[in-house]
Chain A
């Protein structure tokens, strides 16, 4: 269990409307986290992995925004509960504060007791959130939308996801210094709605953990082992709409309820 904690990276839930001031009667805590994997194995930054094609790969940065997270209780007419407006899921951390599993904190959200059947969110930002800028004075101190590093001036919007690293593009068995890639995605039309069947219960005054796994191998390779686009040919992207869409679709498809 301790080992598992090592690679759980907590989603920073600054629950804007997830923390009611009065405790709900009959409520428990949901601890929600994103967990990164590569081909079903625990993922670490700068570790070497192998794509289904046999090509070696290493990632130096992986992070993304999720917005409008909500969950739904089982049963007809049962409402949805908003979990958070926007979160930054960060598997890299800053250079001086790298995400270290032992430090990763899990934020919990107080929810009414019951059986939950769904978690849904946008991978990327909703149109409304993407219209903000890091300098907006109405953003709270810990709001991830303050991240200037994830704002792209030419888009008038945010970089939804950054994936950077190196791969053995010439397939000679060694990842060389010039074999790098950098994929930055964004633009509202490329945000993906993700809706996942859930099966967890909140019991009174108890903590329930739920994790969402995102798999970096699946971001680039379909289930059939097909490369979603030619990474070797397109090693950098922050402009090409079709490639951005493919990366975001791949990432959305790779997220599974654990």
Chain B
């Protein structure tokens, strides 16, 4: 702590002349070679704590996620320095209180231009190692984090500009040094910035304190509605309730297996008629047109509106959609046909019960976790 104060003073002094403007104003001063060498570099592994019932996290080795890396990533995530006009950060569209969505149908970037997709929850992405976004077009968080900065409907900036701002910033060079051991501020790159953001994102995991998780541990009980909802969700055999088939596509402890399906949102005759072809854009396979990733349903009551284009305002509308079997189209999933065939079996009570179960997945402790909030 003492060290930090010292270093902070050191930098304030160093940048004294240029540092009079607003905090994020870029500096014009030339970096001094080797100017970070004297700052201590002592990386400590960051231990991501996951609930007991969760799978072990794979693919993270010693040194991959560090306390200083996460701290840097958290700053970058919340800092509008990434956007062209200093007005938006990642957190503008991924807010903790919306389970890291923006609770808008489609997101709007710095130029006020609306994108065509709805923001996504960033919950438990540390488990996703192959297919990010609604259409799976990005494979890793490190790769993904590079994209919003230059996306015209998002931060609409350029990486050279961002790197220039970071290299000449009061605090970031020190933070990059501590996270990555760089010797000189000129070694700050977009790859390091993206890596740090990804490190922070990987810490965003369920708290284990949702009612669902507490019940698993024997620390709470389902209400009658919730238990009926659970039994429909998981297609419990030998009960009088109709199978809602949800667990086929939103299954597992994470309530997603990151697979792609067509859940019958649009009734079209030909695959060429889909407004948004989703996965088809990535694979270029017509059998994948109109398929999207089935996202996690953990914390789902906090991420309205729903679907890739935010078309449903409420969970009631979502469940109505599934209970009706959706709209026929060439790549519709067999399960949606199955649901349509038995749509007459579902009642308003079933809807209420299923939603009651979905709400046991609410995780306020995740959204309120102080480590996930803005550091500014």
| B131, B136, B248, B338: most-surrounded residue (chain A CB, <10 A) | B248
Q: Within the assembled complex, what's the spacing in Å between the Cα atoms of A239 and B238?
A: 9
Enumerate chain B residues within 8 angstroms of A181, measured Cβ to Cβ.
Answer: 334
Choose, from B50-58, B172-180, B308-316, B359-367, the stretch at the interface.
B50-58
Interface 0/1 of A186-209, CB less than 8 Å to B: 000000000000000000000000
Q: Within the assembled complex, what's the spacing in Å between the Cα atoms of A235 and B252?
A: 24
Q: Are B259 and A178 in contact (CB under 8 A)?
A: no
Question: Is A40 in contact with chain B by the CB < 8 A criterion?
Answer: no
Question: Is A53 in contact with chain B by the CB < 8 A criterion?
Answer: no
| A146, A151, A153: most-surrounded residue (chain B CB, <10 A) | A153
User: CB-nearest residue of chain A relative to B267?
Assistant: A177
Q: How many residues of A contact B (CB 8 A)?
A: 32
CB distance from A254 to the nearest CB of B (A): 21
CB distance from A172 to the nearest CB of B (A): 16
Interface residues of B in 216-238 (CB under 8 A from A): 234-237
Enumerate chain B residues within 8 angstroms of A146, measured Cβ to Cβ.
Answer: 55
Indicate which residue in B251, B257, B291, B337 contacts A178 across the interface (CB closer than 8 Å): B337
Interface residues of B in 4-19 (CB under 8 A from A): none
Q: Are B283 and A96 in contact (CB under 8 A)?
A: yes
Question: Is B86 in contact with chain A by the CB < 8 A criterion?
Answer: no
Q: Are B234 and A94 in contact (CB under 8 A)?
A: no
Indicate which residue in B130, B253, B283 contacts A148 across the interface (CB closer than 8 Å): B253
Question: Is B307 in contact with chain A by the CB < 8 A criterion?
Answer: no
Q: Within the assembled complex, what's the spacing in Å between the Cα atoms of A147 and B287?
A: 23
Question: Is A134 in contact with chain B by the CB < 8 A criterion?
Answer: yes
Indicate which residue in B53, B260, B335 contacts A236 across the interface (CB closer than 8 Å): B335
Q: Are A148 and B254 in contact (CB under 8 A)?
A: yes
Interface 0/1 of B240-259, CB less than 8 Å to A: 00010001100111100101
| A97, A141, A177: most-surrounded residue (chain B CB, <10 A) | A177
A236 with B334, Cβ < 8 A, contacts A95-B283, A137-B56, A154-B234 known: yes
User: CB-nearest residue of chain A relative to B131?
Assistant: A96
Interface 0/1 of B289-329, CB less than 8 Å to A: 00100000000000000000000000000000000000011
A60 with B287, Cβ < 8 A, contacts A96-B131, A135-B253, A154-B236 known: yes
Chain B contact residues, CB within 8 Å of chain A = 53-56, 58-59, 130-131, 136, 139, 234-237, 243, 247-248, 251-254, 257, 259-260, 279, 282-283, 285, 287-288, 291, 328-330, 332-335, 337-338, 340-341
For the complex of A and B, list the 9 residue pairs with the smallest distance between their C-beta atoms, beginning with the closest: A148-B252, A180-B334, A182-B334, A149-B257, A95-B260, A135-B55, A236-B338, A154-B234, A177-B328
Chain A contact residues, CB within 8 Å of chain B = 46, 60, 94-98, 134-135, 137, 141, 146-149, 151-154, 164-166, 177-178, 180-182, 184, 235-236, 238-239
